[in-house]
Amino acid sequence: MMEDEDIALNSVLGLELNRVFFAVRETANKQKIIEFARKVLQSEHAEAAENASPEGPAS
């Protein structure tokens, strides 16, 4: 089950990101972590939307 593996991996990555975020003291570095996480989420949402497209890939 690939989807189950993806969910488990995302959970582990989320927990690790959370740990790093709270280990970082400088606000500027915390902002960089937030921006990076947002970019990753946006790219994943865009990829999921492409994969869910009923039109399929353009030839």
Model pTM? 0.59
| Res. 55: pLDDT tops 80 | no
Specify the pLDDT at position 39: 92
Give buried/exposed letters for 24-35 (b at 16+ CB in 10 A, else e): eeeeeeeeeeee
User: Is it the case that residue 53 has pLDDT exceeding 80?
Assistant: no
Q: What confidence tier does 26 reach under pLDDT thresholds 50, 70, 90?
A: very high
Share of the chain above pLDDT 70, in %: 85
| Residue 52 scores a pLDDT above 70 | yes
